[in-house]
Structure 1
Amino acid sequence: MMLMTFRNWALDETPASRTQASWGHRYRIWLKLRSNPLAMIGLAIILVFSLLAALAPVLAPHDPAIQNLANRLAAPSAAHWLGTDELGRDIFSRILYGGRVTLGMVVSVVVLVAPIGLAVGCIAGYFGGIVDTVLMRVTDVFLAFPRLILALAFVAALKPGVESAVLAIALTAWPPYARLARAETMTVRRSDFIAACRLTGASPWRIIMRHAAPLCVPSLIVRITLDMSSIIITAASLGFLGMGAQPPSPEWGAMIATAKRFIFDQWWVATVPGIAIFLVSLAFNFLGDGLRDVLDPKGD
Protein backbone atom coordinates (compact mmCIF):
# COMPACT_ATOMS: atom_id res chain seq x y z
CA MET A 1 0.00 0.00 0.00
CA MET A 2 2.76 2.43 0.93
CA LEU A 3 4.67 1.51 -2.22
CA MET A 4 1.62 2.15 -4.38
CA THR A 5 1.05 5.49 -2.70
CA PHE A 6 4.67 6.49 -3.29
CA ARG A 7 4.46 5.36 -6.91
CA ASN A 8 1.38 7.46 -7.58
CA TRP A 9 2.94 10.44 -5.78
CA ALA A 10 6.26 10.15 -7.65
CA LEU A 11 4.67 9.64 -11.09
CA ASP A 12 2.21 12.52 -10.74
CA GLU A 13 2.33 14.51 -13.98
CA THR A 14 1.74 17.76 -12.10
CA PRO A 15 4.12 17.73 -9.10
CA ALA A 16 3.22 20.16 -6.36
CA SER A 17 6.77 20.83 -5.20
CA ARG A 18 10.38 20.64 -6.29
CA THR A 19 10.90 17.69 -3.94
CA GLN A 20 8.10 15.73 -5.58
CA ALA A 21 9.48 16.50 -9.05
CA SER A 22 12.98 15.42 -7.98
CA TRP A 23 11.78 12.12 -6.53
CA GLY A 24 9.61 11.55 -9.58
CA HIS A 25 12.66 11.96 -11.83
CA ARG A 26 14.67 9.49 -9.72
CA TYR A 27 11.84 6.97 -9.70
CA ARG A 28 11.47 7.11 -13.50
CA ILE A 29 15.22 6.50 -13.83
CA TRP A 30 14.88 3.46 -11.55
CA LEU A 31 11.96 2.10 -13.60
CA LYS A 32 13.98 2.42 -16.81
CA LEU A 33 17.01 0.81 -15.21
CA ARG A 34 14.89 -2.02 -13.81
CA SER A 35 13.74 -2.91 -17.33
CA ASN A 36 17.35 -3.68 -18.34
CA PRO A 37 18.12 -7.29 -17.28
CA LEU A 38 21.91 -7.02 -17.66
CA ALA A 39 22.03 -3.81 -15.64
CA MET A 40 20.05 -5.46 -12.84
CA ILE A 41 22.35 -8.49 -12.90
CA GLY A 42 25.34 -6.17 -12.61
CA LEU A 43 23.71 -4.23 -9.77
CA ALA A 44 22.87 -7.47 -7.95
CA ILE A 45 26.47 -8.75 -8.23
CA ILE A 46 27.85 -5.42 -6.96
CA LEU A 47 25.43 -5.38 -4.04
CA VAL A 48 26.25 -8.99 -3.13
CA PHE A 49 30.00 -8.39 -3.15
CA SER A 50 29.60 -5.12 -1.23
CA LEU A 51 27.42 -6.85 1.38
CA LEU A 52 29.86 -9.76 1.70
CA ALA A 53 32.76 -7.35 2.14
CA ALA A 54 30.88 -5.29 4.72
CA LEU A 55 29.92 -8.41 6.70
CA ALA A 56 33.30 -10.12 6.34
CA PRO A 57 33.99 -10.20 10.12
CA VAL A 58 30.65 -11.97 10.63
CA LEU A 59 30.66 -14.28 7.60
CA ALA A 60 34.32 -15.32 7.44
CA PRO A 61 34.69 -18.80 9.00
CA HIS A 62 38.41 -18.31 9.70
CA ASP A 63 40.83 -15.51 10.44
CA PRO A 64 42.29 -14.52 7.04
CA ALA A 65 45.78 -14.00 8.50
CA ILE A 66 46.13 -17.21 10.53
CA GLN A 67 48.54 -19.68 8.96
CA ASN A 68 48.26 -23.46 9.15
CA LEU A 69 51.20 -24.98 7.28
CA ALA A 70 50.00 -28.49 8.03
CA ASN A 71 46.91 -27.75 5.91
CA ARG A 72 48.54 -25.76 3.09
CA LEU A 73 47.15 -25.97 -0.45
CA ALA A 74 44.16 -28.01 0.71
CA ALA A 75 41.47 -28.56 -1.91
CA PRO A 76 37.96 -27.10 -1.41
CA SER A 77 36.11 -29.01 1.30
CA ALA A 78 33.48 -28.60 3.99
CA ALA A 79 36.10 -27.16 6.34
CA HIS A 80 37.48 -24.74 3.73
CA TRP A 81 34.86 -24.00 1.07
CA LEU A 82 37.35 -22.55 -1.44
CA GLY A 83 40.44 -24.38 -0.21
CA THR A 84 43.56 -22.95 1.40
CA ASP A 85 46.59 -21.11 0.03
CA GLU A 86 50.32 -21.84 0.24
CA LEU A 87 50.38 -20.83 3.93
CA GLY A 88 47.25 -22.75 4.91
CA ARG A 89 45.05 -19.64 5.10
CA ASP A 90 41.37 -19.99 4.26
CA ILE A 91 40.78 -18.59 0.75
CA PHE A 92 37.07 -17.90 1.28
CA SER A 93 37.83 -15.73 4.31
CA ARG A 94 40.58 -13.94 2.41
CA ILE A 95 38.24 -13.28 -0.52
CA LEU A 96 35.72 -11.67 1.84
CA TYR A 97 38.30 -9.47 3.50
CA GLY A 98 40.00 -8.84 0.15
CA GLY A 99 36.74 -7.38 -1.13
CA ARG A 100 37.04 -4.74 1.59
CA VAL A 101 40.51 -3.79 0.36
CA THR A 102 39.82 -3.87 -3.38
CA LEU A 103 36.37 -2.26 -3.32
CA GLY A 104 37.56 0.23 -0.71
CA MET A 105 40.38 1.28 -3.04
CA VAL A 106 37.91 1.72 -5.92
CA VAL A 107 35.54 3.86 -3.84
CA SER A 108 38.45 5.97 -2.57
CA VAL A 109 39.69 6.58 -6.10
CA VAL A 110 36.24 7.63 -7.32
CA VAL A 111 35.74 9.98 -4.36
CA LEU A 112 39.06 11.63 -5.21
CA VAL A 113 38.91 11.82 -9.00
CA ALA A 114 35.26 12.65 -9.67
CA PRO A 115 35.30 16.12 -8.03
CA ILE A 116 38.73 16.92 -9.50
CA GLY A 117 37.77 15.93 -13.03
CA LEU A 118 34.41 17.69 -12.77
CA ALA A 119 35.99 20.91 -11.47
CA VAL A 120 38.82 21.00 -14.03
CA GLY A 121 36.50 20.22 -16.94
CA CYS A 122 33.81 22.73 -15.98
CA ILE A 123 36.31 25.53 -15.38
CA ALA A 124 38.09 24.87 -18.67
CA GLY A 125 34.86 24.58 -20.64
CA TYR A 126 33.24 27.67 -19.17
CA PHE A 127 36.11 30.15 -19.24
CA GLY A 128 37.80 28.94 -22.44
CA GLY A 129 40.80 30.85 -23.77
CA ILE A 130 44.09 30.59 -21.95
CA VAL A 131 42.46 28.84 -18.95
CA ASP A 132 41.12 26.10 -21.21
CA THR A 133 44.44 25.77 -23.03
CA VAL A 134 46.52 25.42 -19.85
CA LEU A 135 44.17 22.97 -18.13
CA MET A 136 43.73 20.81 -21.22
CA ARG A 137 47.48 20.66 -21.91
CA VAL A 138 48.02 19.44 -18.35
CA THR A 139 45.28 16.88 -18.95
CA ASP A 140 46.96 15.78 -22.19
CA VAL A 141 50.24 15.19 -20.34
CA PHE A 142 48.51 12.69 -18.02
CA LEU A 143 46.64 11.09 -20.94
CA ALA A 144 49.86 10.59 -22.89
CA PHE A 145 51.01 7.80 -20.55
CA PRO A 146 49.30 4.42 -20.06
CA ARG A 147 47.46 4.42 -16.75
CA LEU A 148 49.24 1.41 -15.24
CA ILE A 149 52.71 2.64 -16.23
CA LEU A 150 52.06 6.09 -14.77
CA ALA A 151 50.56 4.58 -11.61
CA LEU A 152 53.63 2.36 -11.20
CA ALA A 153 55.87 5.41 -11.51
CA PHE A 154 53.90 7.30 -8.85
CA VAL A 155 53.91 4.34 -6.45
CA ALA A 156 57.64 3.81 -6.99
CA ALA A 157 58.22 7.49 -6.18
CA LEU A 158 56.24 7.09 -2.95
CA LYS A 159 56.20 3.67 -1.32
CA PRO A 160 54.24 0.48 -1.99
CA GLY A 161 50.94 0.29 -0.09
CA VAL A 162 47.19 0.80 -0.34
CA GLU A 163 47.36 4.56 0.26
CA SER A 164 50.05 5.04 -2.38
CA ALA A 165 48.13 2.88 -4.85
CA VAL A 166 44.91 4.86 -4.32
CA LEU A 167 46.73 8.16 -4.79
CA ALA A 168 48.58 6.89 -7.88
CA ILE A 169 45.40 5.58 -9.55
CA ALA A 170 43.57 8.80 -8.69
CA LEU A 171 46.32 10.92 -10.26
CA THR A 172 46.04 8.92 -13.48
CA ALA A 173 42.23 8.49 -13.62
CA TRP A 174 40.90 12.07 -13.58
CA PRO A 175 41.75 13.26 -17.16
CA PRO A 176 38.89 11.45 -18.97
CA TYR A 177 36.38 12.93 -16.51
CA ALA A 178 37.83 16.41 -17.07
CA ARG A 179 37.50 16.08 -20.83
CA LEU A 180 33.92 14.83 -20.54
CA ALA A 181 32.92 17.67 -18.19
CA ARG A 182 34.61 20.22 -20.48
CA ALA A 183 32.68 18.96 -23.51
CA GLU A 184 29.38 19.05 -21.62
CA THR A 185 30.07 22.56 -20.27
CA MET A 186 30.99 23.92 -23.70
CA THR A 187 27.61 22.78 -25.06
CA VAL A 188 25.65 24.70 -22.43
CA ARG A 189 27.74 27.79 -21.68
CA ARG A 190 26.07 29.78 -24.49
CA SER A 191 22.56 28.60 -23.64
CA ASP A 192 19.79 31.06 -22.93
CA PHE A 193 19.43 30.06 -19.29
CA ILE A 194 23.17 30.65 -18.71
CA ALA A 195 22.82 34.09 -20.30
CA ALA A 196 19.82 34.77 -18.04
CA CYS A 197 21.92 33.82 -15.01
CA ARG A 198 24.58 36.31 -16.07
CA LEU A 199 21.97 39.03 -16.44
CA THR A 200 20.79 38.44 -12.88
CA GLY A 201 24.34 39.14 -11.67
CA ALA A 202 25.43 35.57 -10.96
CA SER A 203 29.21 35.18 -10.81
CA PRO A 204 31.00 32.71 -13.12
CA TRP A 205 31.78 30.47 -10.14
CA ARG A 206 28.15 30.36 -9.08
CA ILE A 207 27.08 29.51 -12.63
CA ILE A 208 29.65 26.70 -12.77
CA MET A 209 28.70 25.26 -9.38
CA ARG A 210 24.93 25.67 -9.57
CA HIS A 211 24.20 25.16 -13.28
CA ALA A 212 27.07 23.79 -15.39
CA ALA A 213 28.40 21.13 -13.00
CA PRO A 214 24.99 19.54 -12.20
CA LEU A 215 24.33 19.11 -15.92
CA CYS A 216 27.59 17.17 -16.26
CA VAL A 217 26.82 14.77 -13.41
CA PRO A 218 24.65 12.23 -15.34
CA SER A 219 27.30 11.72 -18.03
CA LEU A 220 30.00 11.62 -15.36
CA ILE A 221 28.13 8.92 -13.42
CA VAL A 222 27.93 6.76 -16.53
CA ARG A 223 31.64 7.25 -17.28
CA ILE A 224 32.65 6.49 -13.69
CA THR A 225 30.55 3.32 -13.61
CA LEU A 226 32.05 2.10 -16.88
CA ASP A 227 35.54 3.05 -15.63
CA MET A 228 35.15 1.10 -12.38
CA SER A 229 36.27 -2.12 -14.03
CA SER A 230 39.53 -0.58 -15.28
CA ILE A 231 40.15 0.92 -11.83
CA ILE A 232 39.63 -2.52 -10.25
CA ILE A 233 42.01 -4.12 -12.75
CA THR A 234 44.60 -1.38 -12.22
CA ALA A 235 44.37 -1.80 -8.45
CA ALA A 236 44.68 -5.58 -8.80
CA SER A 237 47.60 -5.16 -11.21
CA LEU A 238 49.45 -2.97 -8.71
CA GLY A 239 48.83 -5.60 -6.05
CA PHE A 240 50.00 -8.34 -8.43
CA LEU A 241 53.24 -6.42 -9.11
CA GLY A 242 53.83 -5.87 -5.41
CA MET A 243 53.12 -2.12 -5.54
CA GLY A 244 49.66 -2.18 -3.97
CA ALA A 245 48.45 -3.80 -0.79
CA GLN A 246 51.33 -5.50 1.01
CA PRO A 247 51.31 -8.98 2.61
CA PRO A 248 49.60 -10.28 4.62
CA SER A 249 46.77 -7.99 3.43
CA PRO A 250 44.23 -10.18 1.54
CA GLU A 251 43.99 -8.09 -1.65
CA TRP A 252 42.76 -9.97 -4.73
CA GLY A 253 45.63 -8.99 -7.03
CA ALA A 254 48.24 -9.81 -4.39
CA MET A 255 46.54 -13.17 -3.80
CA ILE A 256 46.96 -14.04 -7.49
CA ALA A 257 50.61 -12.94 -7.40
CA THR A 258 51.49 -15.28 -4.55
CA ALA A 259 49.52 -18.15 -6.09
CA LYS A 260 50.69 -18.00 -9.71
CA ARG A 261 53.25 -20.77 -9.23
CA PHE A 262 50.52 -23.17 -8.11
CA ILE A 263 48.08 -22.41 -10.93
CA PHE A 264 48.48 -25.76 -12.71
CA ASP A 265 48.50 -28.08 -9.70
CA GLN A 266 46.36 -26.22 -7.16
CA TRP A 267 44.18 -24.22 -9.55
CA TRP A 268 41.78 -22.87 -6.91
CA VAL A 269 44.42 -20.73 -5.18
CA ALA A 270 44.76 -18.32 -8.12
CA THR A 271 41.43 -18.96 -9.87
CA VAL A 272 39.12 -17.87 -7.05
CA PRO A 273 40.46 -14.28 -6.68
CA GLY A 274 40.63 -14.07 -10.48
CA ILE A 275 36.94 -14.98 -10.70
CA ALA A 276 36.13 -12.34 -8.07
CA ILE A 277 37.94 -9.65 -10.08
CA PHE A 278 36.22 -10.82 -13.28
CA LEU A 279 32.72 -10.84 -11.79
CA VAL A 280 32.96 -7.39 -10.19
CA SER A 281 34.50 -5.86 -13.33
CA LEU A 282 31.83 -7.41 -15.54
CA ALA A 283 29.10 -6.26 -13.15
CA PHE A 284 30.26 -2.64 -13.31
CA ASN A 285 30.30 -2.83 -17.12
CA PHE A 286 26.75 -4.19 -17.18
CA LEU A 287 25.56 -1.48 -14.79
CA GLY A 288 27.40 1.23 -16.70
CA ASP A 289 25.79 0.20 -19.99
CA GLY A 290 22.37 0.29 -18.35
CA LEU A 291 22.98 3.71 -16.81
CA ARG A 292 24.19 5.03 -20.16
CA ASP A 293 20.89 4.01 -21.76
CA VAL A 294 18.92 5.64 -18.93
CA LEU A 295 20.89 8.81 -18.30
CA ASP A 296 22.04 9.64 -21.81
CA PRO A 297 20.39 13.03 -22.52
CA LYS A 298 20.46 12.28 -26.26
CA GLY A 299 18.83 8.90 -25.87
CA ASP A 300 15.14 9.78 -26.11
Structure 2
Amino acid sequence: MIVVTGATGHLGRLVVQDLLDRGVPAGEIVAAVRTPDKAADLAASGVQVREADYDRPETLAPAFAGADRLLFISGSVPGARLPQHHAVVDAAKAAGVGLIAYTSILKADTTTMLLAADHRATEARIRETGLPHVFLRNGWYLENYTERLTDTLRNGAILGAAGDGRLAAAARADYAAAAGAVLTSDGPVNVAYELAGDESFTMAELAAQITEHSGTPVTYRDLPVDEYATTLTGFGLPPEAATVIADADAGIARGELTTDSRDLSRLIARPTTSMPDAIATTLNN
Protein backbone atom coordinates (compact mmCIF):
# COMPACT_ATOMS: atom_id res chain seq x y z
CA MET A 1 0.00 0.00 0.00
CA ILE A 2 1.22 3.49 -0.92
CA VAL A 3 0.16 6.50 1.17
CA VAL A 4 0.42 10.01 -0.29
CA THR A 5 0.08 12.94 2.10
CA GLY A 6 -1.27 16.26 0.88
CA ALA A 7 -3.02 14.32 -1.88
CA THR A 8 -5.48 17.11 -2.70
CA GLY A 9 -2.68 19.62 -3.27
CA HIS A 10 -1.18 20.47 -6.65
CA LEU A 11 1.72 18.03 -6.34
CA GLY A 12 -0.17 15.35 -4.43
CA ARG A 13 -2.91 15.01 -7.03
CA LEU A 14 -0.32 14.63 -9.76
CA VAL A 15 1.46 11.91 -7.79
CA VAL A 16 -1.77 9.96 -7.26
CA GLN A 17 -2.54 10.20 -10.98
CA ASP A 18 1.00 9.11 -11.83
CA LEU A 19 0.64 6.05 -9.60
CA LEU A 20 -2.63 5.14 -11.31
CA ASP A 21 -1.02 5.63 -14.72
CA ARG A 22 1.75 3.24 -13.66
CA GLY A 23 -0.85 0.57 -12.99
CA VAL A 24 -1.01 0.73 -9.20
CA PRO A 25 -4.53 -0.45 -8.27
CA ALA A 26 -6.60 2.41 -6.88
CA GLY A 27 -7.43 0.39 -3.79
CA GLU A 28 -3.74 0.17 -2.92
CA ILE A 29 -3.35 3.97 -2.87
CA VAL A 30 -4.24 6.02 0.19
CA ALA A 31 -4.89 9.75 -0.17
CA ALA A 32 -4.00 11.14 3.26
CA VAL A 33 -5.60 14.58 3.40
CA ARG A 34 -6.53 17.28 5.86
CA THR A 35 -10.08 17.63 4.49
CA PRO A 36 -11.48 14.34 3.19
CA ASP A 37 -14.45 16.08 1.54
CA LYS A 38 -12.01 17.69 -0.90
CA ALA A 39 -10.91 14.22 -2.02
CA ALA A 40 -14.37 13.03 -3.09
CA ASP A 41 -13.21 12.63 -6.68
CA LEU A 42 -10.30 10.45 -5.56
CA ALA A 43 -12.63 8.31 -3.46
CA ALA A 44 -14.93 7.93 -6.46
CA SER A 45 -12.01 6.54 -8.46
CA GLY A 46 -11.44 3.86 -5.83
CA VAL A 47 -8.55 5.49 -3.99
CA GLN A 48 -8.73 5.13 -0.19
CA VAL A 49 -9.16 8.50 1.55
CA ARG A 50 -8.02 8.98 5.13
CA GLU A 51 -7.87 12.08 7.29
CA ALA A 52 -4.32 13.21 8.02
CA ASP A 53 -4.01 16.72 9.43
CA TYR A 54 -0.43 17.82 10.13
CA ASP A 55 -1.77 20.06 12.91
CA ARG A 56 -3.63 17.17 14.55
CA PRO A 57 -1.01 14.50 15.26
CA GLU A 58 -3.60 12.02 16.49
CA THR A 59 -4.88 11.67 12.90
CA LEU A 60 -1.52 10.73 11.41
CA ALA A 61 -0.56 7.25 12.62
CA PRO A 62 -4.02 5.80 11.77
CA ALA A 63 -3.75 7.35 8.30
CA PHE A 64 -0.36 5.70 7.78
CA ALA A 65 -1.35 2.26 9.16
CA GLY A 66 -0.37 -0.56 6.84
CA ALA A 67 1.73 1.64 4.57
CA ASP A 68 4.47 -0.13 2.67
CA ARG A 69 5.56 3.23 1.30
CA LEU A 70 4.74 6.77 2.40
CA LEU A 71 5.20 9.91 0.34
CA PHE A 72 5.52 12.77 2.82
CA ILE A 73 4.86 16.03 0.96
CA SER A 74 6.25 18.89 2.99
CA GLY A 75 4.01 21.50 4.59
CA SER A 76 3.65 24.91 2.97
CA VAL A 77 3.64 27.35 5.89
CA PRO A 78 7.09 28.53 7.02
CA GLY A 79 7.17 28.82 10.79
CA ALA A 80 4.51 26.18 11.33
CA ARG A 81 6.23 23.59 9.20
CA LEU A 82 8.80 22.12 11.60
CA PRO A 83 6.40 20.96 14.36
CA GLN A 84 4.10 19.63 11.66
CA HIS A 85 6.95 17.70 10.08
CA HIS A 86 8.09 16.23 13.38
CA ALA A 87 4.55 14.99 13.97
CA VAL A 88 4.43 13.31 10.56
CA VAL A 89 7.82 11.65 10.96
CA ASP A 90 7.02 10.42 14.47
CA ALA A 91 3.70 9.01 13.25
CA ALA A 92 5.41 7.25 10.35
CA LYS A 93 7.78 5.64 12.81
CA ALA A 94 4.90 4.62 15.10
CA ALA A 95 2.99 3.14 12.16
CA GLY A 96 6.05 1.18 11.03
CA VAL A 97 5.95 2.35 7.42
CA GLY A 98 8.27 0.41 5.13
CA LEU A 99 9.75 3.45 3.36
CA ILE A 100 9.33 7.19 3.76
CA ALA A 101 9.98 9.43 0.74
CA TYR A 102 10.15 13.11 1.68
CA THR A 103 9.88 16.13 -0.63
CA SER A 104 12.80 18.26 0.50
CA ILE A 105 14.65 21.11 -1.24
CA LEU A 106 17.53 21.12 -3.68
CA LYS A 107 20.93 20.95 -1.97
CA ALA A 108 19.25 20.80 1.44
CA ASP A 109 22.48 19.89 3.20
CA THR A 110 24.54 22.77 1.78
CA THR A 111 22.26 25.63 0.75
CA THR A 112 22.13 28.70 2.98
CA MET A 113 18.61 29.70 1.92
CA LEU A 114 16.23 30.37 4.80
CA LEU A 115 13.70 28.07 3.17
CA ALA A 116 16.02 25.10 3.63
CA ALA A 117 16.29 25.13 7.43
CA ASP A 118 13.03 23.23 8.04
CA HIS A 119 13.86 20.72 5.33
CA ARG A 120 17.33 20.09 6.73
CA ALA A 121 15.88 19.51 10.21
CA THR A 122 13.19 17.20 8.81
CA GLU A 123 15.76 15.12 6.96
CA ALA A 124 17.70 14.77 10.22
CA ARG A 125 14.55 13.69 12.07
CA ILE A 126 13.84 11.05 9.43
CA ARG A 127 17.37 9.69 9.65
CA GLU A 128 17.00 9.44 13.43
CA THR A 129 13.99 7.13 13.07
CA GLY A 130 16.06 4.50 11.30
CA LEU A 131 13.29 4.09 8.69
CA PRO A 132 14.38 3.37 5.13
CA HIS A 133 14.07 6.70 3.35
CA VAL A 134 14.52 8.62 0.12
CA PHE A 135 14.91 12.39 0.05
CA LEU A 136 13.37 13.94 -3.06
CA ARG A 137 15.19 17.28 -3.02
CA ASN A 138 12.97 19.24 -5.38
CA GLY A 139 14.21 22.38 -7.07
CA TRP A 140 12.01 25.26 -8.20
CA TYR A 141 8.78 24.63 -10.08
CA LEU A 142 8.32 26.24 -13.51
CA GLU A 143 4.80 26.96 -12.29
CA ASN A 144 6.30 29.53 -9.90
CA TYR A 145 6.56 31.66 -13.03
CA THR A 146 3.99 30.32 -15.51
CA GLU A 147 1.11 30.56 -13.05
CA ARG A 148 1.77 34.30 -12.80
CA LEU A 149 2.05 34.90 -16.54
CA THR A 150 -1.12 36.98 -16.76
CA ASP A 151 0.19 39.44 -14.18
CA THR A 152 3.65 39.40 -15.75
CA LEU A 153 2.26 40.31 -19.15
CA ARG A 154 0.05 43.00 -17.65
CA ASN A 155 2.97 44.58 -15.83
CA GLY A 156 5.56 44.02 -18.53
CA ALA A 157 8.17 43.14 -15.94
CA ILE A 158 9.47 40.43 -13.66
CA LEU A 159 10.80 41.70 -10.34
CA GLY A 160 13.41 39.82 -8.36
CA ALA A 161 16.77 39.79 -6.67
CA ALA A 162 18.38 36.88 -8.52
CA GLY A 163 20.88 38.93 -10.50
CA ASP A 164 22.29 36.87 -13.35
CA GLY A 165 22.14 33.66 -11.31
CA ARG A 166 20.88 30.54 -13.05
CA LEU A 167 18.21 28.17 -11.84
CA ALA A 168 17.20 24.77 -13.14
CA ALA A 169 13.43 24.61 -12.72
CA ALA A 170 11.16 21.77 -13.82
CA ALA A 171 7.43 21.22 -14.13
CA ARG A 172 5.45 20.05 -11.14
CA ALA A 173 4.47 16.98 -13.17
CA ASP A 174 8.15 16.10 -13.57
CA TYR A 175 8.64 16.05 -9.80
CA ALA A 176 5.44 14.04 -9.39
CA ALA A 177 6.71 11.47 -11.87
CA ALA A 178 9.97 11.19 -9.93
CA ALA A 179 8.02 10.50 -6.75
CA GLY A 180 5.95 7.90 -8.57
CA ALA A 181 9.09 6.20 -9.85
CA VAL A 182 10.57 5.97 -6.35
CA LEU A 183 7.34 4.71 -4.81
CA THR A 184 6.90 1.93 -7.36
CA SER A 185 10.47 0.69 -7.78
CA ASP A 186 12.98 -1.30 -5.76
CA GLY A 187 15.65 1.36 -6.07
CA PRO A 188 18.25 2.28 -3.46
CA VAL A 189 17.17 3.54 -0.04
CA ASN A 190 18.71 5.98 2.41
CA VAL A 191 19.65 8.20 -0.53
CA ALA A 192 19.01 11.78 -1.60
CA TYR A 193 18.13 12.77 -5.16
CA GLU A 194 18.98 16.30 -6.29
CA LEU A 195 16.03 17.04 -8.56
CA ALA A 196 15.97 19.91 -11.04
CA GLY A 197 15.46 20.69 -14.70
CA ASP A 198 17.95 19.61 -17.33
CA GLU A 199 18.39 23.20 -18.54
CA SER A 200 19.11 26.26 -16.42
CA PHE A 201 18.15 29.86 -17.16
CA THR A 202 18.44 33.36 -15.76
CA MET A 203 15.56 35.69 -14.99
CA ALA A 204 16.53 37.82 -17.98
CA GLU A 205 16.34 34.74 -20.20
CA LEU A 206 12.93 33.93 -18.72
CA ALA A 207 11.71 37.43 -19.55
CA ALA A 208 13.09 37.12 -23.09
CA GLN A 209 11.25 33.83 -23.67
CA ILE A 210 7.99 35.27 -22.37
CA THR A 211 8.45 38.19 -24.75
CA GLU A 212 9.18 35.88 -27.69
CA HIS A 213 6.24 33.56 -27.11
CA SER A 214 3.66 36.19 -26.18
CA GLY A 215 4.67 39.10 -28.38
CA THR A 216 4.40 41.37 -25.33
CA PRO A 217 7.65 43.01 -24.19
CA VAL A 218 8.67 41.78 -20.73
CA THR A 219 11.85 42.79 -18.92
CA TYR A 220 13.56 41.59 -15.78
CA ARG A 221 14.12 44.25 -13.12
CA ASP A 222 16.72 43.26 -10.57
CA LEU A 223 16.45 44.74 -7.07
CA PRO A 224 18.55 44.57 -3.91
CA VAL A 225 17.29 41.76 -1.68
CA ASP A 226 15.93 44.09 1.02
CA GLU A 227 14.17 46.27 -1.53
CA TYR A 228 12.62 43.23 -3.18
CA ALA A 229 11.30 42.01 0.19
CA THR A 230 9.84 45.44 0.90
CA THR A 231 8.22 45.48 -2.56
CA LEU A 232 6.62 42.09 -1.96
CA THR A 233 5.28 43.30 1.38
CA GLY A 234 3.79 46.25 -0.45
CA PHE A 235 2.00 43.80 -2.73
CA GLY A 236 0.32 42.32 0.35
CA LEU A 237 2.59 39.43 1.30
CA PRO A 238 3.22 38.89 5.01
CA PRO A 239 6.69 40.19 5.95
CA GLU A 240 7.97 36.72 6.86
CA ALA A 241 6.91 35.26 3.51
CA ALA A 242 8.37 38.24 1.64
CA THR A 243 11.69 37.77 3.41
CA VAL A 244 11.81 34.07 2.54
CA ILE A 245 10.98 34.70 -1.13
CA ALA A 246 13.56 37.47 -1.48
CA ASP A 247 16.14 35.30 0.25
CA ALA A 248 15.40 32.49 -2.21
CA ASP A 249 16.21 34.86 -5.06
CA ALA A 250 19.50 35.59 -3.34
CA GLY A 251 20.02 31.82 -3.32
CA ILE A 252 19.48 31.76 -7.07
CA ALA A 253 22.14 34.46 -7.42
CA ARG A 254 24.52 32.22 -5.48
CA GLY A 255 23.78 29.22 -7.71
CA GLU A 256 21.92 27.25 -5.05
CA LEU A 257 18.93 26.34 -7.25
CA THR A 258 20.78 24.66 -10.07
CA THR A 259 22.53 21.32 -10.35
CA ASP A 260 24.18 19.14 -12.96
CA SER A 261 22.99 15.92 -11.28
CA ARG A 262 20.39 14.94 -13.91
CA ASP A 263 18.76 12.85 -11.18
CA LEU A 264 15.30 14.04 -12.23
CA SER A 265 15.51 13.10 -15.90
CA ARG A 266 17.07 9.75 -14.97
CA LEU A 267 14.25 8.92 -12.55
CA ILE A 268 11.51 9.84 -15.00
CA ALA A 269 13.36 8.33 -17.99
CA ARG A 270 12.79 11.36 -20.20
CA PRO A 271 13.99 14.95 -20.52
CA THR A 272 12.48 17.40 -18.07
CA THR A 273 10.02 20.05 -19.24
CA SER A 274 11.89 23.05 -20.59
CA MET A 275 11.15 26.64 -19.58
CA PRO A 276 10.25 27.73 -23.16
CA ASP A 277 7.91 24.75 -23.57
CA ALA A 278 6.21 25.52 -20.25
CA ILE A 279 5.63 29.13 -21.32
CA ALA A 280 4.27 28.11 -24.71
CA THR A 281 1.92 25.55 -23.18
CA THR A 282 0.59 28.04 -20.64
CA LEU A 283 0.00 30.72 -23.27
CA ASN A 284 -1.78 28.27 -25.58
CA ASN A 285 -4.18 26.99 -22.90
Structure 1-normalised TM-score? 0.21
Greater strand fraction, Structure 1 or Structure 2: 2
Greater helix fraction, Structure 1 or Structure 2: 1
Structure 2-normalised TM-score? 0.22
Task: Pick the structure with greater CA Rg.
Answer: 1
